[in-house]
Amino acid sequence: MNSILISIILGIVEGLTEFIPVSSTGHMILASELMGINDQDALHKSFEVIIQLGAILAIAVVYRQRIMNMLGIYRTESRKWNEPARKTLNLLHVALGIAPALIVAFFAKDYIKSLFSAKTVLLALVAGGVFMLFAELMSRSKVRTTAHDMDGITYKQAAIIGLYQCISVLWPGFSRSGATISGGMLSGLSYRAAADFSFLIAIPIMCAATGYELLSSYKAILSGDLGFFVVGFIVSFVVAYIVVVAFLKYIQKIQLRHFAYYRFLIAALFWLFVMR
């Protein structure tokens, strides 16, 4: 298959699946399996790093004002001198949301890499889907919503979401966004607040992961086909931006259960027609 066509297909897959709760890692492994690509060779691993950077840039553009607010670069809110400071999401919330996953990834990176396989992904797709159905059910009937937007998230809730994120780190295919959005809803966040926080903390966690991979694969990138990498980067950026904006716009119509059903369908089809 033509390298540019492969670049476009994988860029679309990455952009479509990186931030919604269906597992981008799982879809990349399954897509590579379908196209007969060795997803462990240096060129392919380097390409995955590049298209992930495209997806990261897309989410950073979507949340650019929020990021600048937290960094103190640009503030959109103003208040009178005698008004109390409004509680807002800050960098400590983000740090608590990413620290557990970074620690687990650092100490278990070799074990995690050994789990990358189509069979592991299929099991994770099903398990993650069940977890998402459970989270939606509990949030509707048992869990009291205490944070309706990101500024209502407590430090405790941020830390709990960080712990849930570790599931996706240890189990490729479980979905980082699926784990964090579901964990957020189980912790008392609204669906929208959980999705926003999941997308926001994806930026530093993915920057750390891709930065680490770049250090070990930059030679393959420099010696590879520049067009192959550039096309994948652009496609991933454009598709990821459209997906995130559309997801946030129609979030009330696209519930977690819809993604869970999709995961079950993909796992079943792949098992029936590819794995067997």
In this predicted structure, what is the pLDDT of residue 50? 86
Cβ neighbours around 70 below 10 Å, total: 18
Q: Confidence class of residue 86 from pLDDT cuts 50, 70 and 90?
A: low
Contact 55, 19 (CB under 8 A): yes
In this predicted structure, what is the pLDDT of residue 237? 96
Contact 33, 274 (CB under 8 A): yes
The CA distance from 227 to 224, in Å, is 9
Residue type, 249: K
Mean pLDDT value of segment 58-67 = 94
Lowest-confidence region among 1-10, 30-39, 90-99: 30-39
Mean pLDDT value of segment 149-156 = 95
Q: Which tokens sit at 86?
A: 């409004």
Mean pLDDT value of segment 186-195 = 96
Q: What are phi and psi of 189, to 5 degrees?
A: -90, 150
Query: Is the pLDDT reported for residue 43 higher than 70?
Result: no
Rounding to the nearest 10 degrees, give the CA dihedral for residues 227, 200, 208, 238. 0
Q: Could you give the residue ranges of the DSSP H alpha helices within the chain?
A: 3-17, 24-35, 42-62, 64-71, 91-114, 118-141, 155-170, 176-186, 191-223, 226-249, 256-270
In this predicted structure, what is the pLDDT of residue 35? 82
Q: Confidence class of residue 42 from pLDDT cuts 50, 70 and 90?
A: low
Helix 118-141 to helix 256-270 angle, to the nearest 10 degrees? 160
The CA distance from 24 to 27, in Å, is 5
Q: Which tokens sit at 64?
A: 């650019």
In this predicted structure, what is the pLDDT of residue 81? 47
> The whole model's pTM is what?
0.89
Mean pLDDT of the chain: 87
User: 180: Cβ–Cβ under 8 A, 6 or more apart, which residues?
Assistant: 97, 161, 164, 165, 168, 194, 197, 198, 201
pLDDT, tens only, 237-248? 999 999 999 999
